């Protein structure tokens, strides 16, 4: 399994070196961000690709489907990291420039980054070490894919900020 992940990341790294298209910079200090409790982080992982998620809301079904395109067995462990806890807890989607939220796919060592500029969410996908791994649309690793989900599910997302906070 670890060998598969290393090979996957090596291929991804080589392919995207020429094609990286993230809209935001790599958050160099991401490891100092605050970990937050959300329903997804409480579960601790995105369900495997063969899990029956038909009873879950559409956004969760789409998330599993999209991330299974990245890794067929499922992406594994996750955590949510935020640079501005107050902004995250406000749940308005109105964030100061530079506010950054990250979905960290720990097993794949991937960071799905949302950063706000002029109150507009922008997206990027990076390997933990900083390599931009954004690539083609519908790969699950493209800012347009992020935007599609973050704007397509109004009941769960407000101006790029998705999910609910556990109390």
CA distance 46 to 34: 20
The b-or-e profile of 68-83 (16+ CB within 10 A means b, else e) is bebbeebbbebbbbbb
List, in order, residues 6 or more apart from 124 with CB less than 8 Å away.
22, 23, 24, 25, 26, 112, 113, 115, 132, 134, 143
Q: Which two tokens stand for residue 25?
A: 């910079």
Q: Which two tokens stand for residue 38?
A: 């959300």
Look up tokens 């800012």; give the residue: 143
Q: Residue range 117-127: average pLDDT?
A: 93
Q: Residue range 136-165: average pLDDT?
A: 76
Q: Which two tokens stand for residue 98?
A: 């530079």
CB 108 within 8 A of CB 75: yes
- Statement: residue 33 has pLDDT above 90: yes
- Statement: residue 87 has pLDDT above 90: no
Look up tokens 């609910």; give the residue: 164
Instruction: Choose the most confident range, by mean pLDDT, from 12-21, 77-86, 139-148, 158-167.
Output: 77-86
Q: Residue range 26-39: average pLDDT?
A: 91
């Amino acid at each position: 399994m670890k060998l598969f992940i290393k090979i996957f990341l090596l291929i991804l790294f080589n392919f995207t070196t020429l094609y990286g298209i993230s809209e935001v910079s790599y958050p160099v200090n991401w490891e100092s961000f605050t970990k937050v409790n959300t329903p997804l982080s409480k579960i601790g992982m995105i369900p495997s690709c063969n899990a029956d998620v038909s009873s879950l809301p559409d956004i969760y079904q789409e998330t599993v489907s999209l991330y299974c395109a990245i890794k067929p067995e499922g992406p594994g462990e996750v955590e949510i990291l935020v640079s501005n806890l107050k902004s995250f807890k406000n749940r308005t989607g109105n964030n100061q420039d530079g506010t950054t939220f990250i979905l960290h796919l720990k097993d794949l060592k991937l960071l799905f980054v949302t950063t706000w500029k002029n109150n507009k969410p922008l997206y990027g996908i990076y390997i933990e070490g900083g390599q931009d791994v954004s690539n083609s649309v519908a790969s699950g690793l493209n800012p347009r894919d992020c935007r599609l989900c973050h704007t397509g599910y109004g009941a769960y997302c407000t101006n790029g900020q998705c999910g609910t906070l556990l109390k």
